[in-house]
Chains A and B, each alone.
Chain A
């Protein structure tokens, strides 16, 4: 009894025909349960059925991948990377030594999705549906699956160590990973603009410092597998036979893992630390290394035209400080190409802005997060490549006007695919258009960023909704005296109560 179905644990809506089949499956399952206890083992799932998979495909996959499986569904033109064309049988993510993926490889992508792309995780679907859809997808390129998957033998694993990371870096340089991935792995290599996939679509190299976006997963084994057998249909070649020693695959893996954190660790509140010293303009100053970063995730702007379905900037690291005179923001973000001017058509200057309400809101009402509207504007502390830091008033993403007479300062540095920027302004400001910052107050803040090299400008941007920013209260010596005094007082009162109770008990 190979075919067992234990019902649909997710209660997903099903077509009438599949319901009939289900009923049949259920009775078979019941019979087998009665016959043998082993049949109830949860590991046994229905055999793959391409016809049943077709129904699932048409409901869930067709919109992007198309009814012919050629990746040309109605939504395809909005997406980058483009949806997979199944008719060629070329699959990026394989655990195999040849071009044929295993069913498990395909099932994993369907189940977990592809980070950094529009492919969502379909684990909400019952496993049976997912397996059936895999069987159906394979029918689009039946010839490609005639060759059975060949097992990939990875070299013996080498655990991470300082020596291994060092060797990995050497190998990274020797095999010239930087040509595409950049010196620091931030996807800014010189070959980046020319890269095309098998279909002639532009394709971006992975930012190796943002492991959570790796299409094929962020685990060490997954990274080593990508290095060993490449990413099919893309420029990423196989390196298994192209490193000096087989174990270099693992040294490289360990080096890549050392380039960035496992996850973006997003902040929920931007804390502005109080400092006594002068705040340096130079973003590379040691001063900034001591300030804890707040990682802010950005999304593409998709509310007004032109929409940005494929935002280039997804993360900005914010370090913020203030002293008795100034408030300063140190921002770090990855951008694969420094664009200071642009041609005004396809490329524009890179830019970033911090958005505040023009005056600290008294209630919970805040201006419209998308750079304000006609009724209520916002204040922007904005930096633009080639122009520097300025104060801007906005009534929507296309209605910007400079605020005159401001005292702003700042400096940006671009290095190896990363911007670091310091923007400063006085803590308090006069006038209706500029907010003043006060310690201890939850101040609404939002962020916007533009990768001009990718054609981002105006409404085509990455952005956040409102966050809160809070200026830490200046620390005084009182914290060393008040808590102990309170503790002493409490003990004294307790002691008195105990004494009173005892004397009463004696009476």
Chain B
């Protein structure tokens, strides 16, 4: 407890710029190292284009379903990299917004606990989850219900859908420990991973799961790369 307090004070002194630079990543225990996870995919991207047949003023005339997004250098975006066993990680509340009839972000990270579900579209959506460890929910979120709070207490990758707009697809990654989502280059940085041997896991919604053991050194960046295989 004291350790965290001291650390927070120190961080505040160093300046908020550092915190901003850290972005939305999960800050873990101090005295750890950074793991830079690179995820590659050799296959073709799967991005379905659809014509929108309802609520076009909010959803647009056309939309995309991003199932496999491959960026430059065959980097795989929207994959969850995590060190699930990293102790002392900070709790992170999930936040997802339904905007333009899409879940934003496509993959939401959170530690077990609460998630805030927003509807900034001013039309009806329904949050329909496909979960087994956590209770599945199917709740309407009409236009006047701007935010809803739900609880996901158990680690799980939860599919999010909306039955009103069948193309809407999102994921909630409920991950204990330290986690990050890969960017368009297929890179995710796990910061403050406790030093020592750590299991690094990569999960992708259609390409599955892989893990590797990495020796994390305090104050250093360890690189690890994964190559996902098509199914």
- Interface residues, chain A, CB within 8 Å of chain B? 98-99, 174-176, 179-180, 190-191, 194-196, 198, 230, 232, 235-239, 241-244
Contact = CB atoms under 8 A, between A and B. Distances in A.
A230 B166 contact: no
A238 B166 contact: no
Contacts of B135: 98-99
A269 B142 CA distance: 46
Interface stretch (B10-18, B41-49, B123-131, B197-205): B123-131
B145 A174 contact: no
B164 A179 contact: yes
Given A190-B54, A237-B163, A175 B138 contact: no
B163 A238 contact: no
Contact of B139 (A174, A195, A242): A242
B136 A242 contact: no
28 contacts: A99-B135, A174-B142, A174-B143, A174-B144, A175-B140, A175-B142, A176-B142, A176-B164, A179-B54, A180-B163, A191-B54, A191-B163, A191-B164, A191-B165, A194-B163, A195-B163, A196-B166, A235-B128, A235-B164, A237-B127, A237-B140, A237-B163, A238-B137, A238-B138, A238-B139, A239-B140, A241-B139, A242-B145
Given A175-B140, A237-B138, A237-B163, 17 more contacts: A99-B135, A175-B124, A176-B123, A191-B164, A195-B163, A196-B166, A230-B139, A235-B138, A235-B164, A237-B128, A238-B139, A238-B140, A241-B145, A241-B148, A242-B139, A242-B141, A242-B142
Which of B128, B141, B163, B166 has the most A CB atoms < 10 Å from its CB? B163
A187 to B, nearest CB: 14
A179 B140 CA distance: 12
A373 B221 CA distance: 84
B138 A232 contact: yes
Contacts of A241: 139, 145, 148
Contact of A244 (B126, B138, B144, B166): B144
B144 to A, nearest CB: 6
Nearest to B145: A242
B139 A179 contact: no
A180 B125 CA distance: 12
B72 interface: no
Interface residues of B, number: 24
Given A176-B124, A191-B54, A237 B142 contact: no
B9 interface: no
Contacts of A243: 142
A379 B54 CA distance: 43
A191 B139 contact: no
Contacts of B165: 191
Given A238-B138, A244-B144, A194 B166 contact: yes
B206 to A, nearest CB: 16
B164 A180 contact: yes
A28 B135 CA distance: 43
Contacts of A242: 139-142, 145
B124 A179 contact: yes
Which of B130, B142, B145, B148 has the most A CB atoms < 10 Å from its CB? B142
A235 B166 CA distance: 10
A244 B145 CA distance: 8
A198 to B, nearest CB: 8
A223 B141 CA distance: 19
B56 to A, nearest CB: 11
A356 B130 CA distance: 53
Nearest to A241: B139
B135 to A, nearest CB: 7
A243 B165 CA distance: 20
B163 A235 contact: yes
B123 to A, nearest CB: 7
Contacts of B53: 190
Nearest to A190: B54
B166 A237 contact: no
Contacts of A198: 130
A236 B166 contact: no
A175 B123 CA distance: 8
Which of B126, B136, B137 has the most A CB atoms < 10 Å from its CB? B126
A99 B138 CA distance: 11
Contact of A237 (B54, B123, B126, B143): B126
Contacts of B145: 241-242
Nearest to A232: B138
A180 B163 CA distance: 9
Contacts of A99: 135-136
B48 to A, nearest CB: 14
B52 to A, nearest CB: 10
Contacts of B139: 230, 237-239, 241-242
B152 to A, nearest CB: 15
B221 to A, nearest CB: 43
Nearest to B124: A176
A227 to B, nearest CB: 10
Nearest to B142: A175
Contacts of B143: 174, 176
Contacts of B163: 180, 191, 194-196, 235, 237
A242 B144 CA distance: 9
Which of A99, A235, A236, A239 has the most B CB atoms < 10 Å from its CB? A235
Nearest to B123: A176
A271 B169 CA distance: 54
Nearest to B53: A190
Nearest to B137: A238
Which of A98, A175, A239 has the most B CB atoms < 10 Å from its CB? A175
Nearest to A236: B138
Contacts of A244: 144
B54 to A, nearest CB: 4
A245 to B, nearest CB: 11
Interface string B109-124: 0000000000000011
Contacts of A98: 135
Nearest to A177: B124
A174 B140 CA distance: 12
A230 B138 contact: yes
